[in-house]
Amino acid sequence: MTDHAELPSPASTHEPPSAPGSVAAPAKDATSHVAEISSLLETLDEAAAHSGQSSDRSAASSHENQLVQVRLGIASGLYAALRAKHPPTASHCLRVALGCSSWAPLMDLDDETRDALEVAALLHDVGKIGVPDKVLLKPGRLLPEEIALMGRHADLTVDILTSCRVPAAVLEVVRFSRSWYGGGNGQQDRQGEDIPLAARMLSIVDAFDSMTTDHVYRPARSRERALAELFDYAGSQFDPELVRKFNDLFAQDQNKLTEQLARRWLHCLTAEGDPLPWISVAEYQPTHASSDRAAAFEKKLIDNMHDGVVFVDSQSTIVLWNTGAERLSGVSSDAACGRTFLPNLVDMRGAKQQCVSNDECPVARAISTGVQWIGRVSMMGRKGRAVAVDLHAIPVRSADGLIHGATILLHDVSSETSLEERCQALHAQVAKDPLTQVANRAEFDRMLNSFVAAHQESNLQCSLVMSDIDHFKAINDTFGHQAGDEAIITFASLLKATCRSGDLVARYGGEEFAILCADCTIAAAARKAEAIRKGLAEVKHWSLGNRSITASFGVTVLQAGDTPDTMLRRADRALLMAKDLGRNQVVQLGDGMMEEKVKKSWWPFQLWRGSALVETTLVTSVPIEVAVQKLRGFIADQNAKIIKTEEAELQLEVTDRRGVELRRAGDRTMTFMIHLKLSQQHCDRANSQGLAVGSYVETRIETTICPRRERDRRHEATVDKARRLLGSLKSYLMAQEEDGQPLKSETHPPVAAP
């Protein structure tokens, strides 16, 4: 079973009726509450899918605060810290809490248990604050030591919640939500019915959300597949009776569940205030041993940090100045504490060595705005010499939103600065195209090798898009080379604006560009190319007489056994096909890396029995040598097996794999035998007009397709699959059926070129 981590609640399957609003007084009607919570759920789902985009996160954060403040009260700061560390995990916790809240009434939970369950769900992953970013954000498989680091977050969660004086009922739910119902996961203290009911419910909702949400290391699964896996682990990891009841939850009226959820979170809880018995400071009396031990750990950590750490209050008065700050500045802690942290105190200067005024103090700005400040400055160091530092000012905010000061981190980069600047300048000069400021051909070749190796290692898909401005020579000849350069710059800017930060845009040569799309399926890459194509066609160029330009695109995806060279050649073939088919379009080739092994027949000699399913003659206006080269592309991309080859004849074995990707009940993979006989002939077109007059060479390919196994002939889909193979063959050869010749097919009309 996958580790627990993220789920849209049952209510979130409902279509939101309107835009979200702010939390209002209890006087709001039920319809308004339903609209608010439905819109919130939709915003969280969108933010989880685009967690790297700040606009999505800010939109989600304002909505999350509406519910978190109501539900957590004084503990909202824990959730805010988790959101600052990893927004997808915070959104996951809120979705799990809403999912548990929707399920609770159907389980007849009393109010006290339901309160504990909701708060436990909101805080159950807060320990991920302590997981290093390199582990939390890693897209590939974790190493054993990284798995151990990730596994610590459950214990960290319990430690954090204990230190924050979370009620015992909440702590119990969080602690035992990791226990397996059947035991065997290292937590043998409780199992079966001894695990609290709320903890067993949280475990199920948590796992379901993890499976149905996109992660950096795998895409989301369907709801049906996630439910099937819950049933697979029922009795071992999960309570089987609760899994059945959770499955029944999706048969309920989702509109009614959403209405009940909105009434509770945006009406009842707002009116009642904080219903949980949070332990007050006076009531919480930790042992002196634990308190002293925690203080000793904190002091040891801060004092032994190489970086400077400074704490200031809301008036920028220094209350802590660690050993790292002393070493960096040459100023002792006794001399610094009690003074106001201002730029003139440390002789702070900007990137161009201009003095930073006290009115522009980054620390004061962070405290006044509540927004972190990160930048490179210089300050006076030991012996009066300037030291380059990365200054990070982090506002310290309480649960009620009040800012009490800031934490300042000072990282010494003086030894790196000059070398870093030279390396950056050199890399920009070597790796970028001077006209468009995107990567050049050499950088693309280097990154293509890295992309392919990294994605093959992690078993993730990456796509390649090759694009070319249509009729570019005519642009140069008609409007001049300067207009052509402006068209190239516009196209490059559009490519950069449309692509993600992890993608690579490169000028491959002249007016041709390439895009490497990391962790991207061929369907997603084709949609991106189509969006770029449409956007380019809508841009008017004043240097071209207020006309627009178009481009053609070839898209492919990394396939099993690919090398950087084979992937690039396949994308080039797709681009040539797009141009040959009329330009200004997107053509994709390739099926991706995730292929299932097809079971071979136990009888290897059942070849060419019975009549052919498809029999026709294809004609392509190229010499036979060129047709053979194009045929090699079909063989490579279809993973075809060459059975027999003679002087001008070829027999292939091709397995149709489309049924593997779109498997339905009764669907199966089928293997076909394709017989091709090639011949070349000269054609005179004396009756043609203008440039068409002359003698031409064309290649004729007599094509026969039949199933490898005779019994496959009885399936309805067999002829369709044979026709699809013919259409693919025609696309690769850029061929048409011979004029006047009908396609022989058992039950279906002629095939159209794709």
Domain definitions of the chain by residue range = 10-272, 300-417, 432-589, 614-745
Please state, rounded to an integer, the average pLDDT across all residues of the chain. 76
pLDDT score, position 551: 94
Instruction: Report CA-CA distances (Å) from 87 to 37, 48, 82, 216, 489.
Output: 19, 8, 7, 13, 36
Range with the poorest average pLDDT among 55-59, 295-299, 695-699, 714-718: 55-59
**CB of 308 within 8 A of CB of 322?**
yes
* Structural class in CATH, domain 614-745: alpha beta
The CA R_g of the chain, rounded to the nearest whole Å, is 33
Q: What is the DSSP letter of 141?
A: P
- Centre a 10 Å sphere on the Cβ of residue 26 and count the other Cβ atoms it contains: 12
Q: Is the pLDDT of residue 36 over 70?
A: no
Q: What does the alpha-carbon distance between residue 722 and residue 196 come to, in Å, rounded to a whole number?
A: 58
Q: What does the alpha-carbon distance between residue 312 and residue 375 come to, in Å, rounded to a whole number?
A: 18
* The residue to which tokens 């490497």 are assigned: 516
Q: pLDDT tens-digit profile of 510-552?
A: 999 999 988 888 888 999 999 999 999 888 888 888 889 999 9
pLDDT score, position 658: 52
What is the arithmetic mean of pLDDT over 28-56?
Answer: 51
Q: What does the alpha-carbon distance between residue 310 and residue 318 come to, in Å, rounded to a whole number?
A: 7
Q: What does the alpha-carbon distance between residue 135 and residue 129 come to, in Å, rounded to a whole number?
A: 12
pTM: 0.36
Instruction: Give bridge partners of residue 644 from the DSSP assignment.
Output: 651
Q: What does the alpha-carbon distance between residue 722 and residue 704 come to, in Å, rounded to a whole number?
A: 10
Q: Is the pLDDT of residue 572 over 50?
A: yes
**CB of 125 within 8 A of CB of 78?**
no
Q: Is the pLDDT of residue 205 over 90?
A: yes
What are the catalytic residues?
511
What is the arithmetic mean of pLDDT over 306-315?
Answer: 88
Instruction: Give bridge partners of residue 557 from the DSSP assignment.
Output: 463
Range with the poorest average pLDDT among 12-26, 191-205, 277-291, 568-582: 12-26
Helices (H), 212-272: 223-232, 240-249, 254-263, 269-272
Q: Is the pLDDT of residue 605 over 70?
A: no
Give me 12's structure tokens: 């979130």
Q: pLDDT tens-digit profile of 363-389?
A: 998 988 888 898 888 888 877 778 888
CB neighbour list of residue 621: distance below 8 Å, 6 or more residues apart: 696, 697, 698
DSSP readout, 101-114?
A: HHHGGGGT--HHHH
Percent share of the chain, pLDDT over 90: 15
Q: Does domain 300-417 have CATH number 3.40.50.300?
A: no
Q: What does the alpha-carbon distance between residue 253 and residue 13 come to, in Å, rounded to a whole number?
A: 11
Q: pLDDT tens-digit profile of 62-71?
A: 555 656 655 5
Which run of H or E residues covers position 674? strand 670-684
Q: Which CATH architecture has domain 10-272?
A: Orthogonal Bundle (1.10)
Q: pLDDT tens-digit profile of 473-493?
A: 999 888 998 999 999 999 999
Q: What is the DSSP letter of 714?
A: G
pLDDT band per the 50, 70, 90 thresholds, residue 80:
confident
CATH topology of domain 432-589: Alpha-Beta Plaits (3.30.70)
- The total number of residues written for the chain in this structure: 754
